């Protein structure tokens, strides 16, 4: 699976999981006394191609082997399907007994169906359990078998697609089955459908038979031995690109041209995996490999064996609209991710849902690191550090985090299982896998993976099976590897390593303690970890060797090492290869900062520059250091032009800038202009053919920030470029550029472009861009947003743009909206949506005056808002928390920025100091 909506899930599911855990101690596991080996399944669509209906017929014969004596009943899963008849046959095909419907028992909560038997079955014998039933083709949700529709572009005719999503436990919505990942079997599928449709499934279509009444049955080849959640089929009018017997992408005919890029990518990726794993895709047991796209899906994609399903937007590149670098990176990563699952997940499957990371962590890992080998232009190895590792480190420092591996019996309900599909199983696991790879060396790691995949082909594993293979190929080390592994997989969180140097800069001492973002939130601060230590100093500045020089044992309080000669600086955790933060003593940090401003940043790796920045922002957030120190340190950025450190910087800055008052922002703007001088001089606002991918991303980010914070050069340059140049910016820069243009004098033209645009993607983009306007904010609000030419979704997005893209204008926007709140409520068609808009806006309030105004407003209008007044009151509480946080944490920073911007005599910036140093050097020469 690949998804990007984890933030909300995490919290919602945590709450749900706790609720269920409190009220139920049911056993959701089957503990089967029989093992299924073969499902012979027929699904029949009742409706026609132009109206597929909401019901399907099903028949299934499940071959079972009894593993115990005295089997008097058989327990398996079903969800909302209606059983019509149930028969048990013996191996010879004779009826053992017919089980009346009234005899079957069903437990709703665990979705277990019990088939009682009048006589015990013989142990170690095959039987066949037959069911005839009907089920629902769902239209309102995207689970089990469901239908979605789209309007054909040329004709406007509604077309239907029927497709499946069985992960995690939805196969039971489609057929009665032993719906647990370890209960693998082979599947033989038959699909009965009307003419007009065609069907595809995991395996090859072998034949189609014609029945009466416009009914055709498609017969598919038997699947490899696999889990129930990997079964899939799609019934549609799709057209295939490629060879339907080998490798093909299915999408609606009008999208055919947009799948060329995806097809090219998968043609490269699949053979490459075969090389890396020394086991080809075909050898896994299925010759066929297909993609299908869908307008609606619960995730970005799903790795059904032989039939990966993607949301349309993931794998379609429309020339000139959705074929920018960003989109191509997204496509490439999703394809590599899903293809990895053919090995990690489909062939070698987790024993139980408590080990989701053993599939998702590897898929995420290869997505970036195999991606980096095949498509080096995206520098995914570097991007991983800021996009995934640093990101998940924030989650993993909060009380709501969880360990990668949970005890099996703690994961029972659907909510428990869904909760496992969170950032920890994806990004943290990928970070830990990367740490292992770097510690043991890439060659050893690859060998371990080859042997793990081979040994467990078609099997099910738990973490210790993986650890066996890692240990087998690990170079000799003085540490307990199993403890090292489980410190990070079974415990939550990670350590901060604190570094200081003493004895004339020759002796380095390290200590560890768990990093917590909110030390008072109930998290266990005493956890300790086995920490691989890598470091380099100014003496050798080697940022290539990622083999640990030692493992800092968790029972030791201090680790220490000496140098013969004094050192100027030391950097730990080379390339942020391992999963921890590093807190340097102030004297070392000052030396590092100096080194960063020297030629080529003294060779300090780009990942470490990003790590230094990200760590400092997090230490400040946690109250371990002051933000003033962070802002002083990142003055080094005035010499930084690379995307990766800047990404980390803006990621940290956004928490702070969101809390600065409009008054304080003026000083921040000056600061930002100063530290971006070099990078802005290099990138400018105009795209160039020779840009690297990361330069394109970097310009996008810089222009977005600089123009938003009223950097004069940025706004003038965009304005000039927009006036002189009628060429459309590339798709991935389009929104940023048009937004910046609308912010200055380009509003009318951007709005005209929006009104004229027919491509739906670009229409939304241009709308958001037009909503960045400053000068025409009032008319944009009154005519466009309050008017009735746009959807409620666009109106809401437009209001957010008005103040988020012009943070200094928040008071103006707030007054404009609240002076006539009735009009907004009319335009949005509801008071509850109006409350949502205000609540989102309140998250940007930074002053006591705003808080007071908001509070008065709520009081005055509470009658109009009705029940939604709760939303507003919650938002008001958040304002209090935010303002308090700023008062507590940002005082010194605010003074620092004011002083720095004020008297030059007091606030000499690092940049000017450097300039002075350089010019005095020049004078000497």
Ligand X SMILES: *[C@@H]1O[C@H](CO)[C@@H](O)[C@H](O)[C@H]1NC(C)=O
Say if residues 273 and 341 touch (Cβ distance below 8 Å): no
**Which of 221-229, 363-371, 649-657, 796-804 is the region at the interface with Zn ion (rule: CB under 5 A)?**
363-371
Nearer to Zn ion, 363 or 470 (CB): 363
x-marked contacts with Zn ion along 1-30 as a string, rule CB under 5 A: xx----------------------------
What is the closest distance, in whole angstroms, from the C-beta atom of residue 426 to Zn ion in the complex? 7
Closest approach, Cβ 414 to Zn ion, in A, equals: 18
From CA 861, how far away is CA 872, in angstroms rounded? 11
Residue with smallest beta-carbon separation from ligand X: 522
Task: Please report whether residue 314 would count as binding Zn ion according to CB under 5 A.
Answer: no
* Number of neighbouring beta carbons within 10 Å of residue 476: 4
Encode burial over 146-168: b for 16+ CB neighbours within 10 A, e otherwise: bbbebeeeeeeeebbbbbbbbbb
Q: How far is the CB of 570 from ligand X (least distance, A)?
A: 31
Please give the angle made by the CA atoms of 122, 128 and 132, to the nearest 5 degrees: 140
CB of 420 to Zn ion, least distance (A): 12
Q: Based on CB atoms, which residue is closest to ligand X, 86 or 816?
A: 86
- The residues of the shown chain that bind ligand X, judged by CB under 6 A, are 37-38, 40, 42, 59, 61, 63, 65, 89, 91, 93, 124-126, 128, 130, 188, 254, 257, 260-261, 264, 399, 401, 492, 522-524, 752-753, 756
Tokens of 630: 């962070």
**Looking at beta carbons only, is 402 or 637 nearer to ligand X?**
402
Q: Does 309 help bind Zn ion (rule: CB under 5 A)?
A: no
Q: CB of 725: closest distance to ligand X in angstroms?
A: 14
Bridge partner list, 97: 88
Closer residue to ligand X, CB minimum distance, 89 or 563: 89
Q: Locate 171 and state its tokens.
A: 């196969």
Give the count of residues interacting with Zn ion (CB under 5 A): 4
Residues contacting residue 646 through CB under 8 Å, at least 6 positions apart: 637, 640, 679, 698, 701, 702
DSSP state of 100: P
User: How far apart are alpha carbons 530 and 551 in whole angstroms?
Assistant: 6
**Closest by Cα among 716, 31, 731, 648 to 323:** 731
**Contact range with Zn ion by CB under 5 A, out of 31-39, 269-277, 359-367, 497-505:** 359-367
Respond yes or no on whether the N-terminal peptide bond of residue 902 is cis (omega within 30° of 0). no
Residues 6+ apart with CB under 8 A from 215: 44, 192, 193, 194
CA 632 from chain center: how many Å? 32
Strand 55-66 and strand 126-136: the pairing is antiparallel
The DSSP string of 391-416 is HHHHHTTSTT---SS--GGG--SHHH
| Of 392 and 911, CB closest to ligand X | 392
* Segments of 538-589 assigned E as strands: 550-552, 559-562, 570-572, 581-584
Q: Which listed option, Zn ion, ligand X, none, makes contact with residue 119 (CB within 5 to 8 Å by class)?
A: none
Q: How many residues does the chain have?
A: 925
DSSP strands (E only) in 810-914: none
211 noted as active-site residue: no
CA-wise closest residue to 40 among 23, 64, 56: 64
Distant-in-sequence, close-in-space partners of 686: CB < 8 Å, separation ≥ 6: 717, 721, 725
Q: What are phi and psi of 158, to 5 degrees?
A: -75, 130
User: Shortest distance, CB of residue 299 to Zn ion, whole angstroms?
Assistant: 8
> Cβ of residue 360: shortest distance to Zn ion, in angstroms?
5
Classify residue 408 by burial, with Cβ atoms within 10 Å: 0-12, 13-18, 19+: middle
1 binds, among Zn ion, ligand X, none (CB under 5 to 8 A by kind): Zn ion
336 makes contact with Zn ion (CB under 5 A): no
Residue at token pair 């940002």: 890
Does residue 813 touch Zn ion according to CB under 5 A?
no
Query: Least distance to ligand X from the beta carbon of 10, Å?
Result: 12
| Residue of 338, 607, 635, 695 marked active site | 338
Asked whether the beta carbons of 628 and 896 are under 8 A apart, the reply is yes
Rounded Cα distance between 486 and 464, Å, is: 10
Rounded CA gap, 280 and 287, in Å?
A: 10
Closest to Zn ion by CB, 232 vs 240, is: 232
> Which is nearer to ligand X, 501 or 766 (by Cβ)?
766
The residue range among 93-101, 356-364, 614-622, 804-812 that interacts with Zn ion, by the rule CB under 5 A, is 356-364
Could you tell me the maximum CA-CA distance found in the chain, to the nearest angstrom?
Answer: 103
Which residues line the annotated binding site for Zn(2+)?
337, 341, 360
261 binds, among ligand X, Zn ion, none (CB under 5 to 8 A by kind): ligand X
Known binding positions:
337, 341, 360
Our CB check for ligand X shows the closer of 41 and 572 to be: 41
Question: Which residue is listed with tokens 């004297």?
Answer: 587
User: Can residue 363 be called a binding residue for Zn ion (CB under 5 A)?
Assistant: yes
Closest Cα to residue 396, out of 209, 523, 218?
A: 523
Q: Which does 216 bind (CB under 5 to 8 A by kind): Zn ion, ligand X, none?
A: none
Part of the chain binding Zn ion (CB under 5 A), chosen from 48-56, 125-133, 264-272, 358-366: 358-366
CB of 187 to ligand X, least distance (A): 11
**Between residues 254 and 880, which has the closer beta carbon with respect to ligand X?**
254
Contact positions vs Zn ion (CB under 5 A): 1-2, 360, 363
Residues identified as active-site: 338
């Amino acid at each position: 699976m690949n998804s990007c909506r984890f933030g909300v899930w995490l919290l919602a599911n945590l709450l749900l999981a706790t609720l269920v855990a409190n009220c139920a101690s049911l056993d959701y596991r089957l503990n089967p006394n029989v093992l299924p080996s073969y499902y012979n399944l027929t699904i029949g669509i009742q409706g026609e191609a132009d109206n597929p209906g909401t019901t399907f017929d099903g028949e299934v014969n499940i071959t079972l082997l009894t593993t115990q004596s005295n089997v008097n009943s058989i327990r398996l899963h079903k969800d909302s399907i209606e059983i019509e008849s149930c028969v048990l046959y013996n191996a010879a095909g004779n009826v053992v007994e017919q089980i009346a419907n009234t005899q079957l028992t069903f437990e709703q909560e665990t979705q277990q169906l019990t088939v009682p038997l009048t006589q015990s079955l013989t142990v170690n014998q095959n039987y066949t359990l037959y069911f005839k039933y009907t089920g629902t083709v769902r239209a309102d949700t995207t689970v089990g078998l469901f239908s979605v529709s789209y309007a054909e572009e040329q004709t406007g005719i509604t077309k239907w697609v029927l497709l499946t999503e069985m992960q995690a436990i939805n196969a039971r919505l489609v057929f009665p089955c032993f719906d647990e990942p370890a209960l693998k079997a082979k599947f033989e599928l038959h699909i009965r459908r009307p003419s007009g449709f065609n069907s595809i499934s995991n395996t090859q279509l072998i034949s189609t038979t014609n029945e009466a009444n416009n009914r055709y049955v498609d017969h598919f080849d038997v699947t490899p031995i696999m889990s129930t959640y990997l079964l899939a089929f799609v019934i549609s009018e799709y057209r295939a690109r490629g060879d339907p017997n080998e490798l093909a992408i299915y999408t609606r005919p009008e999208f055919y041209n947009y799948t060329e890029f995806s097809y090219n990518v998968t043609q490269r990726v699949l053979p490459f995996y075969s090389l890396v794993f020394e086991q080809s895709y075909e050898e896994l047991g299925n010759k066929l490999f297909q993609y299908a796209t869908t307008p609606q899906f619960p995730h970005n994609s799903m790795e059904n064996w032989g039939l990966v399903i993607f949301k349309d937007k993931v794998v379609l590149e429309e020339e000139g609209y959705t074929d920018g670098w960003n989109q191509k990176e997204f496509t490439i990563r999703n394809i590599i991710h899903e293809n990895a699952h053919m090995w990690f997940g489909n062939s070698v499957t987790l024993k139980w849902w408590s080990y989701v990371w053993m599939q998702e962590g590897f898929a995420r890992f290869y997505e970036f690191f195999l991606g980096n080998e095949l498509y080096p232009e995206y520098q995914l190895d570097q991007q991983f550090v800021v996009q995934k590792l640093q990101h998940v480190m924030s989650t993993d420092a909060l009380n709501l985090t969880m360990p990668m591996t949970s005890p099996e019996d703690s994961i029972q309900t659907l909510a428990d299982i869904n909760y496992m599909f969170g950032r920890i199983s994806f990004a943290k696991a990928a970070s830990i896998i990367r740490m292992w790879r770097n510690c043991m060396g890439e060659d050893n790691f690859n060998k371990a993976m080859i042997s793990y995949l081979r040994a467990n082909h078609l099997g099910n594993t738990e973490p210790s099976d993986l650890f066996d293979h890692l240990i087998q190929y690990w170079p000799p080390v003085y540490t307990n590897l199993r403890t090292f592994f489980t410190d990070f997989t079974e415990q939550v969180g990670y350590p901060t390593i604190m570094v200081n140097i003493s004895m004339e800069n020759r002796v380095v001492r390290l200590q560890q303690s768990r990093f917590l973002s909110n030390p008072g939130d109930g998290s266990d601060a005493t956890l300790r970890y086995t920490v691989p230590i890598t470091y380099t100093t100014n003496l050798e500045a080697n940022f290539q060797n990622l083999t640990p020089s030692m493992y800092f044992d968790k029972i030791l309080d201090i680790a220490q090492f000496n140098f013969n000669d004094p050192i100027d600086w030391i950097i730990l955790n080379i390339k942020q290869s391992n999963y921890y933060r590093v807190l340097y003593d102030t004297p070392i940090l000052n030396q590092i900062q100096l080194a960063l401003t020297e030629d080529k940043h003294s060779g300090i790796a780009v990942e470490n520059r990003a790590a230094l920045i990200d760590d400092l922002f997090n230490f400040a957030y946690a109250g371990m250091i002051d933000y003033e120190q962070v802002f002083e340190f990142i003055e080094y950025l005035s010499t930084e032009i690379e995307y990766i450190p800047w990404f980390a910087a803006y990621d940290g800055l956004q928490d702070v800038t969101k809390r600065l008052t409009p008054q304080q922002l003026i000083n921040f703007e000056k600061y930002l202009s100063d530290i971006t001088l070099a990078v802005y001089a290099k990138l400018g606002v105009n795209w160039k053919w020779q840009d690297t991918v990361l330069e394109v991303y970097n310009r996008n980010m810089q222009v977005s920030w600089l123009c938003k914070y009223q950097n004069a050069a940025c706004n003038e340059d965009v304005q000039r470029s927009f006036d002189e140049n009628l060429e459309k910016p590339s798709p991935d820069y389009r929104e940023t550029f048009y937004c910046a243009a609308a912010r200055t004098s380009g509003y009318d033209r951007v709005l005209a472009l929006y009104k004229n645009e027919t491509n739906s993607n670009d229409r939304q983009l241009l709308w958001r861009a037009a909503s960045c306007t400053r000068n025409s904010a009032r008319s944009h609000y009154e005519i466009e947003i309050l008017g009735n030419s746009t959807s409620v979704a666009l109106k809401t997005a437009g209001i957010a743009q008005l103040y988020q893209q012009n943070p200094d204008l928040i008071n103006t926007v707030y007054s404009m909206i609240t002076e006539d709140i009735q009009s907004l409520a009319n335009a949005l068609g509801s008071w509850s949506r109006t409350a949502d808009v205000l609540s989102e806006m309140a998250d940007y309030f930074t002053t006591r005056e705003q808080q007071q105004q908001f509070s008065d407003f709520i009081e005055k209008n509470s009658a109009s808002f009705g029940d939604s007044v709760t939303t507003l009151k919650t938002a008001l509480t958040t304002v209090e928390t935010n303002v308090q946080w700023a008062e507590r944490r940002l005082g010194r920073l605010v003074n620092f920025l004011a002083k720095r911007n004020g008297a030059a005599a007091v606030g000499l910036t690092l940049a000017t100091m450097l300039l002075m140093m350089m010019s005095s050097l020049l004078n000497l020469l």
